[in-house]
Structure 1
Amino acid sequence: MRTLAVRLDSLGDVLVTGPAIRALAAGSASLTLLCGPRGRAAAELLPGVDDLLCWRSPWIDPEPDAVDPGDVRALIADLAGRRFDRAVVFTSFHQSPLPTALVCRMAGIPWVGAISEDYPGSLLDVRHRVGDDLPEPERALSLAAACGASLPGSDDGRLAVRPGAVPPTELGEDYVVLHPGTSVPARAWPAAGYRRTAERLEDDGHRVVVTGAPQEQELTAYVAGRSGACDLGGRTDLAGLAGVLAGARAVVVGNTGPAHLAAAVGTPIVSLFAPTVPRTRWAPYGVPLVVLGDQDAPCRDTRATRCPVPGHPCLASVTPDDVVAAVATLSGPALRRPA
């Protein structure tokens, strides 16, 4: 059985699909994952993936290019040449799998499964339906199950990365990570809150590490400030970030991809969660967790990328004291005392 699994959006989306991909891989001679460029670095970390294809989808990417017929034809030809026996298309609740299913049919893939509320005609062999209140990893696993796949008994169903994929860190283990950046502004806790939290944690005897992408270096430098925090902004790739997160006693992070990466390496999380998407679906999965933020704020379920409410009340209401207390709940007291 040669299986094509498809997840075409961002790194967090790819990570939460990991357990379902492992289930499909368990019943396949080989599994190829078709991902988008925003999710590729995460896809490279997943267990169960034998081969990786990357393609930017104009019906999934949040900043899509115009549809290029030649590009679509090239993808169809590539898939056709690989002679897959089945394809399973994973999407979020607001995305349609049907354009991708059509591509799979045109590539001659004889069996296709997906979650779809829309009538699929002859595009799907399994049209799975599921309620809206499942965490995303369980939603994806339910599709795998509908397609006849299940996890081995030894697999706990949590997010995971491949053994050996994450390099060891030289930071030791006695530190707390603050990751202030987010993929969209509406999910960001004010930078001043992170800076004050870094100061408070250092005062309490914690060692603080601030992480971020290359484009977030100004933000991470501001958060680290003069607190003594270690600023790693722009200094790790995704695998290196996973190593840093894996060694931490706790991670403070918004609803963004690195939150799911922290869950994949088993680190407790203080989640600064803006309710623009449902917490039930998108909170970090399978690890000790404290969620902060007003989940009934006016922005609830809007999927807004920029805050539609003056003052950003869902997260501005969270104080550094709240975050420090949550870190203490998850990690206990600092292992070193202030000088």
Structure 2
Amino acid sequence: MSRVLVVRLDSDGDVLLAGPAVRAVAAGADEVVMVVGPRGRQAAGLLPGVDAVVMWRCPWVDGEPPPMTREGTEEVVDTLAALGADEAVVLTSFHQSPLPTALVLRMAGVGRITAASVDYPGSLLDVRLRPGDPALDPTVDLPDDLPEAERALAIAARAGHALPEGDDGRLAVTVGDDARREAADALAAHGVDGPYVVLHPGASVPARAWSPHRATEGVAALAAAGHRVVVTGAPDEAALTARVAGREGVDLGGRTSFGALAAVLAGARAVVVGNTGPAHLAAAVGVPVVSLFAPVVPPERWAPYGVRRILLGDQGAPCRGTRARDCPVPGHPCLDSVRANQVVAAVGALIYGE
């Protein structure tokens, strides 16, 4: 029996974007074990093709990294070794090195490891893709400007894993019956029994979120335009969603599991959201997205993938390409320059083709 590890140690959005690569691996493997960080666990549980999930809070990936210790590393090595995997496919973004992860996998006895690495990997990798700019280096075989889902799929393909016939390579999740019932109950409890749009004001990285006062204006403007507006958020965003929903919106902040959130998004006519996990969750359930996109990372790599979308935000703002977690520019101009009427127009264009 072949057991393959697919490693993506970032957050929910990153894990969702790895979904097509996971399905490619699953098409030829007997078992796929997804190795993720704690911030990606709930997304991994929704991906088709994943048979088991192992968590690893990785010191060189996690946004709030734990201490790097010999004891912690040995514990991870033992956990991974116990899986008895034949192979690992390590998925990283353009700014990350897979080599520390490959070292741990090698110590765990994984026999074949594939990843993309700018740096010379020595014996850490068996299959290496060289990322970069093909215009500057003709030996590059993984362009840096690929959408993140396609980058992951290219890494899996170099390892010998292709999507099965009929798979279009878009994002996808499995939403169970319990999650659908949970979502339906949450909506019904607030009297939502017809068409609605979703506005998700929060983001895991503060620099990528529309400011609360702008999001509040957005809800009011959408409601004035005749839309029923459902405001969603994680449990730790309950105060934010209550403020943003106000009297005009329906506040579901902290009232749904991640699977039920997928079901809520799936029922929406459109979703307004920043560059954060629920944007990719909306794409995974096939819903059009108004993407409030801060240019701290490139939209060609990270914008919602495979669905109709409209990007709003100043892509030439001074924060462009900084990967900043907190806005480095007073006034948050890249997103706070977006006004409620622009969001209303974008939602109308996606729903009605206006």
Q: CA, structure 1 residues 173+76, in 2 after alignment: closer, same or farther (shift >3 Å)?
A: farther
Native 8 Å contact 2:292 2:335 kept in 1: yes
What's the C-alpha RMSD, in Å, of the aligned pairs? Answer: 1.4
Question: What residue in structure 1 maps to residue 215 of structure 2?
Answer: 194
DSSP 3-state at the match of 2:39: coil
Native 8 Å contact 2:98 2:117 kept in 1: yes
TM-score, normalization by structure 1: 0.95
Provide the C-alpha distance between the structure 1 equivalents of 2:236 and 2:98, rounded to a whole number of angstroms. 32
DSSP 3-state at the match of 1:88: strand
Amino acid at match of 1:54: M
Provide the C-alpha distance between the structure 1 equivalents of 2:144 and 2:83, rounded to a whole number of angstroms. 34
Alignment deviations for residues 89-144 of structure 1 (CA, whole Å, 9 cap, x no partner): 11111111111111111111111000100110000011112111100000000001
| 2:180 counterpart (156, 161, 167) | 167
Question: What residue in structure 2 maps to residue 249 of structure 1?
Answer: 269
Alignment deviations for residues 8-41 of structure 1 (CA, whole Å, 9 cap, x no partner): 1111010000100110110101111111101000
Q: CA deviation at 1:217?
A: 1.1
Provide the C-alpha distance between the structure 1 equivalents of 2:228 and 2:24, rounded to a whole number of angstroms. 38
Question: What residue in structure 2 maps to residue 116 of structure 1?
Answer: 117
Amino acid at match of 1:178: L
| 1:185 counterpart (159, 181, 206) | 206
Q: CA deviation at 1:223?
A: 0.9
Native 8 Å contact 1:173 1:249 kept in 2: no
User: How many residue pairs were aligned?
Assistant: 333
Amino acid at match of 1:318: V
Question: What residue in structure 2 maps to residue 18 of structure 1?
Answer: 19
Regions of 4+ moved over 6 Å: none
Q: Which runs of 5+ in 2 are unaligned?
A: 131-141, 188-192
DSSP 3-state at the match of 1:38: helix
Amino acid at match of 2:234: A
Alignment deviations for residues 246-270 of structure 1 (CA, whole Å, 9 cap, x no partner): 1000000001111001111111100
Question: What residue in structure 2 maps to residue 154 of structure 1?
Answer: 166
1:56-205 correspondence runs (5 A):
56-129=57-130, 130-162=142-174, 164=176, 166-168=179-181, 169-170=183-184, 171=187, 172=193, 174-205=195-226
Provide the C-alpha distance between the structure 2 equivalents of 1:292 and 1:122, rounded to a whole number of angstroms. 44
DSSP 3-state at the match of 2:38: coil
TM-score, normalization by structure 2: 0.91
Question: What residue in structure 1 maps to residue 328 of structure 2?
Answer: 308
Question: What residue in structure 2 maps to residue 274 of structure 1?
Answer: 294
Provide the C-alpha distance between the structure 1 equivalents of 2:51 and 2:59, rounded to a whole number of angstroms. 25
DSSP 3-state at the match of 1:82: coil
60-69 vs 33-42, greater mean Cα deviation? 60-69
Provide the C-alpha distance between the structure 2 equivalents of 1:161 and 1:173, rounded to a whole number of angstroms. 24
Native 8 Å contact 1:242 1:265 kept in 2: yes
Q: CA deviation at 1:173?
A: 5.2
Between the two proteins, what is the percent identity of the paired residues? Answer: 62
